[in-house]
Structure 1
Amino acid sequence: MSWLPPDDESDDEPYADYEARARPNPKGNRARTKIRPEHKDAVTGRVLTVDRGRYSVLVGEGTDDEHEAIASRASELRKNAVVTGDRVDLVGDTSGVDGSLSRIVRIQERSTLLRRSADDSDEVERIIVANADQMLIVVAAANPEPRPRLVDRYLVAAFDAGITPILCITKTDLRDPTDFLANFVGLDIIVVQSAENQWPLEVLGGLLSGHSTVAVGHSGVGKSTLVNALVPDAHRAIGRVNTVTGRGRHTSSSTISLRVGDGWIIDTPGVRSFGLGHINPDNILGSFTDLATVALQCPRGCTHLPGSPDCAIIEAAEAGELGDIGRLRLDSLQRLLGTLA
């Protein structure tokens, strides 16, 4: 069927004076803008825990009005992970009363990020906690068996993030941890030991005071039991080691910040693997400041691993210039770098 002009139009100008009707805007007539509100009235809080899209945030920290508020994440932050330890800005109802809900509109600059990947081939990082300055690595002397290579991975992640590691050995009543600790003699790490139900709480309290410390460890090593001893009202779930497999059972399912004196301890779920696919090896060397100075003389691309040609660190160690401690530290560095390789 052909188009015919209206009867009142001339045959010479069939399309004259016709105007196409403007197509209505299905989303409304208001133009979209990328300008976001400044939220000058936002209040600052510390993220204590994350649970299925809801965030427990401590508001008014250190004041008489200190309280917890529940928050959701603003739509403009949908591509940004908000994790335990984050300092965030909130708007909305921050009263914390039942049924109230505020909104996280900004994540403040982070001082550190502890990350891991699913495995060593996965370069996609998973942020565990933010703004921690210490890592408490909890290891059992026995039951379950200590895993030096897993501890190496924790150390690599800590050095990469610029976090100071502390090693806590539990269940020393079951086995002398001397042989295990020999793996780390070249590292300047504080070591704390404890037998069952004999936690050195005064020592640990002093180490945690004034710091934000993330606790990590293999399932079943007693990490949550230690947290409960430090924070009696934490009520973190604990489990037992399977007598057949020798493996611990996952008990803590969430990451949570708990106050210890004037510091914080962040309890994390126990893990059996810790991927390092996202780590930059240069950050590991940077944590060995004495060896990093010698490494300035290494050829470009030097891996510092055994057999590396013209490696200045290896040559200095062979010449006795590093001393006994230096050789031990080189061994530790090579083991950590070998973990990445």
Structure 2
Amino acid sequence: MTQSPSLSEATSCVASHCELGEGPGWNANTNEVRWMNILASELHHAAADGSRHRITALARKTSYAALTTEGDYLLVAEHQLSRFDPTTGELADFLPFETNHSPATRSNDARVDTHGSLWLSSMGLNAEAGAGSLYRLHRGQLTRLMSGLSIPNALCFSPDGRYAYFSDTTTGQVMRWMLDADGWPLSAAGRYEAPEVWADLRESGGNPDGAIIDSEGHMWIALWGAGRVARLDHEGREVAHVTLPVSQPSCPLLGGESLDILYITTAYEGMPLSTSQAESTQNGNLFACDLSAAGIKGLAEPLLILG
């Protein structure tokens, strides 16, 4: 297993007990963190300190809520992208998503890029090999960038917008894709150029899951099964980490008023726990760790431009 300095241990911030917590985001206007419980079709919100936790039941398994320039959310869910007003609860279908795909799929990871476009992925409901795809939603138009993926994860972008990163979790590697001036993968002869292997995490003790980029351009990536979130430098080498008292971190977020609190969603999916047993543990909770002493800060979350 890769050894690196431990910056701290994250502690439970919200006892959310998510079977599959995912997709955290920070809303600077309301000073709230949001995240999803995918398998339970729930949207969670809480204040920066974990207080005022509330849960909104959704109609579909939803993996991400992208904050738009108009102040509402675009929900990324199985078979459908929808507009959702968190104030009124109004929901409106926006665009179908893999409605006729076989085997059946659901949405997985998603992230807004530096151009205000949404990258989103799908995977098989039972994680079938090669059933997933990677897409980009640009100004309301959905384009498939890649297919044949199993568990697409770790979507994030370099601060200068030159690179997109992603992982097919089953490979244990993080890929890097060079982008053009409009945020599309570079292409030649009508085809996208292949991404390159940027980080090899097969000896990390866990599987690469959700990821973000901090203000220094370093990646923070959840290592599912390893109970830690690793910080990778510009060459993809692990240089530090934060530990958790649970084994399945799913996605990090740098939020808080100064963007220096590391929030981490977790899960108890796949564990031999009943619902009552899961609720007596910290598995599935939202965790937090103050990184201000280390001088680490995040980047402001780009808003999704739909028109």
TM-score, normalized by the shorter chain, greater than 0.5: no
Relative contact order, higher structure (CA 8 A, sep 6+): 2
Q: Which has the higher helix share?
A: 1
> Normalising by structure 2, what TM-score?
0.30
Larger Rg: 1
Structure number with the higher strand fraction is 2
TM score, norm. by length of structure 1: 0.28
